[in-house]
Amino acid sequence: MTVIEEILGLDKINKNSEVDYIFNFSKFDQVHLQSPSLIKIKETTNRQKHFILLTKTLEKNKYVDQIELTENGFINVTLHLSKVLKYLQKSKEEILETIKDRKPKKYIFDYGGPNIGKSMHVGHLRPLNIGRALYNIYKISGNNCTSDIHLGDWGIPISQILTYCYENNIEIKNLSDKDLQEIYPKASKLTTENIEFKNKVAQNLSKLNEKSQNLYNDWKIVSNITINSIEKLLLKLNHKFDLFYGESTVVDLIPQMIESLKNNNYVAFDDGALISKEKVDPPVLILKSDSTYLYMTTDLATVLDREQKISPDEYFYIVDSRQSAHFKQLFSSIKYFNFSKSNFKHIGFGTINDAEGKPFKTRQGDVYPLEDLWQDIYKILIRKNNKNNAHILTNSVLVFSDLLIDRSSNYKFDVEKFTNTEGKTAIYIQYTRVRIKSILKNLNQIEYLDNFDKLNLTDAEKDLILSILKFSDTFKRSKKHNEPHHLAEYLYELCQRFNSFYKKSRILDEANMELQNRRLNILIVCLEIIEIIFDILGIETVEEM
């Protein structure tokens, strides 16, 4: 529930009528209510009767000063601003209570998806950041949330790597992560060019699916090499997951799943391949003609596994928008096969390009490793910061720069621009937080005021307070649309408002103690909201700059 909803008691009003609101930030103390049922009534007497019923609760509200019905059926509510501002003097915990869901649910967030044998590249940045932000948004709302990295650790790519090693007498136990990154593209290319090698890959994949001991042991070695590398990088980036499962987690469920689909007449063979009988175009392929698994196969089995172990109310897949066709088929198949009654959403996103707007690649034309991008940023920030701060700020740049962008858009990752101290940058918001902390630290004897005097508020104070009031509405919008960029934009706006307030207002050297305390009270709630958003977006904090 947002601050304005709670102040007006809209939960009580909405028991009988559907009422929405628009907070008039320009007038500072006005809220416009609109009710479809009220607007539909054209006859004046009946409209007035309905208006009285709707506003019965509002008349007893201590925060409400005046209530007015307009000619077009809207309700204008004028607030007692001094009381509203007193209401905002909440602790961090009390602020968080205003954004809790009334009926918590169980959610699973599937994101990250690195593959065995490949380094994590720039393309993994968006699912990591967007996935974590959404996970935090729902978790901080009081919901039961589970994150799963869902590794690509099974199937043809693994068989290609193993087959290449066998054919070239490469000792698998001696492989490094760097070796695997060199082997995979060679093995992938050879599969397309050499039919004999391709057949051996298929044969080995079939054996791997059957858990052939030698192949399975070699798979575990290769898998552990990559997973250790992934975990090391995620630790550096400060990303954590509740589950570190992969496609391999569910391969034992697939034979039974296939048999069940056959027995229930959901699937049929077509030229040796197993396809769904659901009437969709193109038809959904469950197994290839050589009985090898596809992403669809393991994704369906993963749903069964999650239903058994977690039973979520809703699934979120944070994956590149270019995979939308796959998820459309997957969600349709889940319902057709009656695998789950839950809701399923694909949270798509655009791509990251270089400063010239071209796909982010190395000079050799390969995908750009995420580790290399991290180092590019770190090299700039270490010039003016100690190692610990440079590390944290590097992560902040990777997170904030990414989350500022509407997830549906492509964007340019400009390292020089994003490491600037001015503008919409992580450095700017970190500096703002450090400045507020420093002020409050220097003046730790703060009296909490009983009220604010609306008439004596300066324009800079009003602007900052108005920005503070927007928090719960902005949070609600981010959650409703699964778009973290609203919160990132708001964080920048709030920091801007504070810095403007700081330039125009005396604080540390203010002789009027009542005025100084009022301003410190405003800063306390401002800092609380900044830190809440840092937590939600996954931004670590520095204590000095």
pLDDT in tens, 269-292: 999 999 999 999 899 999 998 888
Per-chain mean pLDDT for the chain:
88
The pLDDT-based confidence of 69 (bands split at 50, 70, 90) is confident
The pLDDT-based confidence of 353 (bands split at 50, 70, 90) is confident
- 391 pLDDT more than 90: yes
Q: Provide the β-strand partners of residue 144.
A: 106
Closest by Cα among 1, 71, 78 to 39:
71
- 526 pLDDT more than 80: yes
Closest by Cα among 402, 423, 157, 149 to 294:
157
Least confident stretch, 343-357, 473-487, 531-545: 343-357
The predicted-structure confidence for 237-266, as pLDDT tens digits, reads as follows: 999 999 999 999 999 999 999 999 999 999
- 357 pLDDT more than 90: no
Q: What is the CATH number of domain 426-537?
A: 1.10.730.10
Per-residue model confidence (pLDDT) at position 516: 85
| Across 350-374, average pLDDT | 79
Per-residue model confidence (pLDDT) at position 101: 92
User: Token pair for residue 118?
Assistant: 């490949």
The pLDDT-based confidence of 542 (bands split at 50, 70, 90) is very high
Per-residue model confidence (pLDDT) at position 71: 73
Q: Provide the β-strand partners of residue 111.
A: 318
Label the pairing between strands 106-111 and 144-148.
parallel
Domain ranges of the chain: 3-79, 106-347, 426-537
Please give the helix or strand (H or E) that residue 201 lies within, else none: helix 195-209
| Across 376-399, average pLDDT | 97
The pLDDT-based confidence of 367 (bands split at 50, 70, 90) is confident
Whole-angstrom distance, CA of residue 83 vs CA of residue 453: 10
Q: What is the pTM of this model?
A: 0.87
Per-residue model confidence (pLDDT) at position 467: 87
Per-residue model confidence (pLDDT) at position 511: 84
Query: How many C-beta atoms lie closer than 10 Å to residue 278's C-beta?
Result: 15
- 50 pLDDT more than 80: no
Hey, CA dihedral for 250, 197, 367, 393, is it positive or negative?
Answer: positive
- 426 pLDDT more than 80: yes
The pLDDT-based confidence of 142 (bands split at 50, 70, 90) is very high
Whole-angstrom distance, CA of residue 4 vs CA of residue 473: 8
Whole-angstrom distance, CA of residue 237 vs CA of residue 227: 15
The pLDDT-based confidence of 68 (bands split at 50, 70, 90) is confident
Higher pLDDT, 134 or 6: 134
- 17 pLDDT more than 60: no
Per-residue model confidence (pLDDT) at position 465: 85
The predicted-structure confidence for 439-453, as pLDDT tens digits, reads as follows: 988 776 555 555 555
List Cβ neighbours of 478 (8 Å cut-off, separation of 6 or more).
137, 484, 485, 486, 487
Beta strands in 163-203, from DSSP E residues, in sequence order = none
Percent residues over pLDDT 70 in the chain: 85
CATH architecture of residue range(s) 106-347: 3-Layer(aba) Sandwich (3.40)
Q: Chain-centre distance of CA 373, in angstroms?
A: 21
| Across 369-379, average pLDDT | 96
Per-residue model confidence (pLDDT) at position 83: 64
Whole-angstrom distance, CA of residue 67 vs CA of residue 59: 8
- 145 pLDDT more than 70: yes
Higher pLDDT, 431 or 87: 431
| Across 374-402, average pLDDT | 97
Whole-angstrom distance, CA of residue 206 vs CA of residue 11: 58
- How many alpha carbons fall within 13 Å on the CB side of residue 31? 26
Using H for helix, E for strand and C for coil, what is the string for 106-131?
EEEEEECCCECCCCCEHHHHHHHHHH
Higher pLDDT, 289 or 70: 289
- Give the length of the chain: 545
| Across 148-165, average pLDDT | 95
- 16 pLDDT more than 60: no
Percent residues over pLDDT 90 in the chain: 64
Closest by Cα among 158, 148, 156 to 113:
148
The predicted-structure confidence for 181-229, as pLDDT tens digits, reads as follows: 999 999 999 999 999 999 999 999 989 988 999 999 999 999 999 999 9
